[in-house]
Homo-oligomer: A and B are copies of this chain.
């Protein structure tokens, strides 16, 4: 079966995020009021062929641990849907 994994890789809470800070400053300059705590990370979509949803989620988690996220500085969130 084919699945589509949606992954977010975000800088860990508490770590500086200069890109997020730059976006927050730019939004404020553009007169968007009430904007706070901007964080910028990566959104990754992967097509995964697997026997079950559980297998697809497990494979996606291993991809994040091996390649897609830096375990020292980043957290990842996974959502897997049938394709």
The interface of chain A, by Cβ under 8 A from chain B, is: 6, 8-10, 20, 23-24, 26-27, 30, 32-50, 59, 62-63, 66-68
Indicate how many identical chains form the complex.
2
Alpha-carbon distance A20/B23, docked complex (angstroms): 23
Hey, which chain B residues are within 8 Å of A40, CB to CB? Answer: 42-44
Contact A34 B48 (CB under 8 A): yes
Contact B41 A46 (CB under 8 A): no
Hey, which chain B residues are within 8 Å of A46, CB to CB? Answer: 24, 27, 35-38
Hey, which chain B residues are within 8 Å of A8, CB to CB? Answer: 6, 8, 43
Hey, which chain B residues are within 8 Å of A66, CB to CB? Answer: 30
Contact B26 A67 (CB under 8 A): yes
